[in-house]
Structure 1
Amino acid sequence: MNEKILTQAVLANRRLRGLPALSNAGSVGADLAAAAAEFEALLDDFVLAFDPVLSRVHGNIAEHGLHITGVFPSEDAPPECLDFSYTTGLSEGLGFELAVATLPFDIAGSILNRSAKVLTAVPSEGDLLEDVLGGGFTARLHRCSDTSRFAMTRQIYGSDPEHGVWQIVVPDSAGRFPDEPGYNHAGLPQPLY
């Protein structure tokens, strides 16, 4: 909390109670700010200790530099709800996260891990990624305009990454991407986020 706001709150509280203003109100505000910051840190530690999911995410980020979250719609979800996977943790060093749509978690995880090793700077729209798919195929990067689905990243960092979330777009068996004519949407439905 802002020290000035806390100082003003202390002074207002003393006025309401008919107490004289403290000569060291600035110091009291600083003490309250320090106590509030300490409390927030303790609360974060408490939540982490008792939330196994968040604990695992933080552990994976500490050990591997990233955590991969897989999202799998329930069986009764509408057909347009497809699996997707995304990273959390890359934004600490790179300022962005990665996502893959539709692919099974093990394949998406492999692509995300390989891509995280290859990327060393913020990408540009349409950048190509070699050697992350196998079979001689090249992936393409697309900056996600809708980041609402990447809840774990927001939970861990409190906001979206500074340089966004980049979708690794996979071509169909003919090498075409979803926004190109002739792309096989039936074989590999792949929404662009």
Structure 2
Amino acid sequence: MGWRRSRSSEPHADLRLLIERFGWAVEHVRVPRRSTGTPSSYTVGLTAAGHPEIVVLGLPAPVAQDFLNAVAEQVRAGGSYRPGQRTGEFTDEDGPVVFLRVEDTGGLASARDVYGSVEALQLVWPDSTGRLPWQPGYRNAPGVQPLLGQVP
């Protein structure tokens, strides 16, 4: 499923068409190769369904898109996620993902441009051993997946 925004001369028109067609779009924020920043991806469109947008950090765009599309499909089917919620429905590994309330949504520029003020949840993914960034033994470097909210 290709619900990624394409490059066009009218990005918000393109984004709105994807939202109209699928119910959401996925926006990828890439960082330059020599940058120390973290790539991020987020949904745009869940706000219209009365649900916070979903953000994921530190994953390659195709992997992030798969996570975000899976969550958005559940939301559009009537599902809901809340801060502190753990679920294994999006991972094949033993570790669940956890949702955190995003404290500052300033980085969700496209969602804010479309809806004004938005709420968001960060989908925090486990490392290869199923551990989350705040758990002892977490194997990924601290900057791989910065946390945008309070740990449950």
TM-score normalised by structure 1 residue count = 0.66
Q: Match for residue 114 of structure 1?
A: 70
The Cα shift of 1:117 comes to 2.1
SS at match of 1:148: helix
Matching of residue 183 in structure 1 with residue 141 in structure 2:
no
Matching of residue 65 in structure 1 with residue 18 in structure 2:
no
The Cα shift of 1:121 comes to 5.2
Larger relative helix fraction: 1
The Cα shift of 1:191 comes to 0.5
RMSD, aligned CA:
2.0
Q: Match for residue 88 of structure 1?
A: 44
Q: 4+ runs of 1 displaced by more than 4 Å?
A: none
What amino acid is the match of 1:89? G
For residues 105 and 191 of structure 1, what CA distance do their matches in structure 2 show?
A: 16
Return the structure number with greater relative CO, CA threshold 8 A, min gap 6. Answer: 2
Question: Which of residues 129, 154, 168 in structure 1 aligns to 2:87?
Answer: 129
CA contact (8 A) 2:93 2:130 kept: no
CA contact (8 A) 2:47 2:53 kept: yes
- CA change 1:141–1:122 in 2 (3 A) is same
Q: Match for residue 3 of structure 2?
A: none
The Cα shift of 1:132 comes to 1.3
CA contact (8 A) 1:130 1:137 kept: yes
CA contact (8 A) 1:172 1:188 kept: no
CA contact (8 A) 2:39 2:58 kept: yes
SS at match of 1:87: strand
Q: Match for residue 171 of structure 1?
A: 126
- 1:142-180 CA-to-partner distances (Å, cap 9, x unmatched) read 1111211110001111222xxx20011101111111111
Unaligned runs of 5+ in 1: 1-49
For residues 65 and 114 of structure 1, what CA distance do their matches in structure 2 show?
A: 13
TM-score normalised by structure 2 residue count = 0.82
Of residues 85-94 and 119-128 in structure 1, the stretch that sits farther from structure 2 once superposed is 119-128
